[in-house]
Amino acid sequence: MIPVDDYFPGLKSTEALPTVMTDSLGRFKFSFTSTDPNFYQIISNNYHLLKADIFIEPKDSIYIEQSSWSAEPKFVIGGKGSEKLRHLEKDFSILPKDKLFYEKISGDHFTTELEFKRFIDSIHFERVNALNSFSSIPKVVKKYHLNTLEAERAAFLLEHLERRNYYTHGEFGYFFPDKTYYTFLDSIDFNNDFSKTTSAKLLAGKYLTDKAQLAFKNRNEEEWWKENLNWKLNFIAHQPKSAWKDLMALSTISEYSFGLMADDFFDYLKLFEENMQNHFSSDFNRNRFELNIASYKQLQPGSQAPDFELPDSNGILHKLSDFQGKIVYIDFWGTWCYPCIEEIPDALSLQEKYKDRPVIFIYIALENSSEINRWKEFIAGNNQRFGKFLDNKPFPGIHLVAENQFRNEAIKDYKINFAPTHVLIDQNGEIVKARAKRSKDIHEEIDKLLNQ
């Protein structure tokens, strides 16, 4: 449990956090000393668990029971100091954020975006009225949760624009609403108090994406994937210093894995880092930014490729460093990934071209435990559905498996969050490109390394 000020969703903390184990029922029990009242969250794997930020004062002893995805959603607060948080139970009864709610907003239930907005607004105003009906709530708590409600409302409405085309037409692409849709932003004061809440931190990335989507409205999808992150970094750099600017800067870090696809990503990151050096509103946020981008810097061209050790289909472990002295082309794929499977003929042609050259092809399958046997069957050429891609023959190359897919600890340094992803490494074991071209287009880069 940590103060909300010290937390940003998905990012590592700059300080060691207090830890506690759960009991057999999944319950936490915390006991800590604090001299100042504050808002707190329970963090697991850099993400919060509580449905709301909880205000705690010295000598409080608060009990919380919550469950959103059960048949009967529950949020109950008890214990000494819980009276000032009683409004959270009422708020949960209005918006339980349960399976039924998310099914409703994640389908084609709403004919127009304005109909969706009216639905979210009706819930928002009911939540605000309920909060204001609790006259005994301390002013600091009421103000904080009013900011939380504003941020959550905005997040729902902006997220809908990212997904509406898919919900209604089964097509990807951002939905651009009538300008009147954005009136909800007029009521938000993006000040320091607003930016303290966990909900504001979750909103920052969606807000920034909407700004970028509007700027790229008349440009093609390829330009979006190559340039949108650089646009965001430039947009942030030109905003006045504020806590909200800090949140936008921190929110971009989760996109750096995609940003690696752009050839000039590290140039832009370096420029952004220099521009932001004296523009974070707090040293704490600047240090958090530096801590969390450090792991991306080790993927820039010329850096020593992070070593890993993974098993093959017989359970024999192989290290990346075993192949130093040769060019290494890594293909992160999965038997569940059809674009990966479609690429196999190109992969076979690529291997054939360099079969007598010092080039190693490593295929790392991102599989859940239940899929590993299917992977073994697949690379042996025995998969009934997709065997045609291998002409029902074994898949050549070095095949390793990363159990637990993207969460596998051995490959975490490569920041893999989509497949297929390719990495090209030179004869010195240094990264040439952390997001290399696919099998049909990588020949030129490999030839260049061979000629060197």
For the residues of 372-441, what is the DSSP string, one character each? HHHHHHHHTT--TTTGGGGTTS---SEEEEEETGGG-GGGGGG---SSSEEEEE-TTSBEEETTPPPTTT
Pull the structure tokens for residue 233.
Answer: 């970094």
Residue 28: per-residue pLDDT: 76
Across 34-48, 57-71, 241-255, the highest mean pLDDT is recorded for 241-255
pLDDT tens profile 229-273: 999 999 999 999 999 999 999 999 999 999 999 889 999 999 999
Residue 319: per-residue pLDDT: 97
What CA–CA distances, in Å, run from 320 to 361, 377, 410?
11, 24, 11
Residue 394: per-residue pLDDT: 94
Which residues, 6+ apart, have CB-to-CB distance to 239 below 8 Å?
245, 248
- The β-bridge partners of 62 are 79
Residue 337: per-residue pLDDT: 94
Residue 27: per-residue pLDDT: 77
Residue 415 has pLDDT above 80, yes or no: yes
Mean pLDDT for all residues in the chain: 93
**Strand 2-3 to 47-48 pairing:** unpaired
- Cα separation, 154 vs 392, in Å, equals 52
Closest by CA position to 30, among listed 47, 14, 49:
49
Closest by CA position to 236, among listed 221, 224, 250:
250
Q: How long, in residues, is the chain?
A: 452
Residue 13: per-residue pLDDT: 83
The mean pLDDT value for 130-151 works out to 95
- Cα separation, 374 vs 380, in Å, equals 10
Residue 230: per-residue pLDDT: 92
- Cα separation, 2 vs 38, in Å, equals 10
Instruction: Indicate the DSSP class of residue 183.
Output: G
The answer to whether the beta carbons of residues 434 and 260 sit under 8 Å apart is yes
- Cα separation, 41 vs 231, in Å, equals 32
Residue 237: per-residue pLDDT: 94
Query: What value, to the nearest 5°, has the Cα angle with vertex 378 and ends 377 and 382?
Result: 65
**Of the candidate ranges 10-19, 143-152, 380-389, 415-424, the one whose mean pLDDT is the lowest:** 10-19
Q: Which helix (H) or strand (E) holds 169?
A: helix 139-169
pLDDT tens profile 321-377: 999 999 999 999 999 999 999 999 999 999 999 999 999 999 999 999 999 999 999
Pull the structure tokens for residue 79.
Answer: 């214990």
Residue 179, Cβ density class (10 Å: 0-12 exposed, 13-18 middle, ≥19 buried): exposed
pLDDT tens profile 179-204: 999 999 999 999 999 999 999 999 99
- Cα separation, 179 vs 254, in Å, equals 28
Residue 310: per-residue pLDDT: 98
Q: Tell me the helix, strand and coil percentages in the chain, rounded to 5.
A: 50, 15, 40
Residue 260: per-residue pLDDT: 93
Residue 441 has pLDDT above 80, yes or no: yes
Residue 437: per-residue pLDDT: 96
CA dihedral 285→290→291→295, nearest 10 degrees, is 140
- Cα separation, 231 vs 215, in Å, equals 9
Tell me the HSE value of 363 on the side-chain side, using a 13 A CA sphere.
25
Q: How many CB atoms lie within 10 A of CB 425?
A: 25
Give me the percent of the chain exceeding a pLDDT of 90: 77
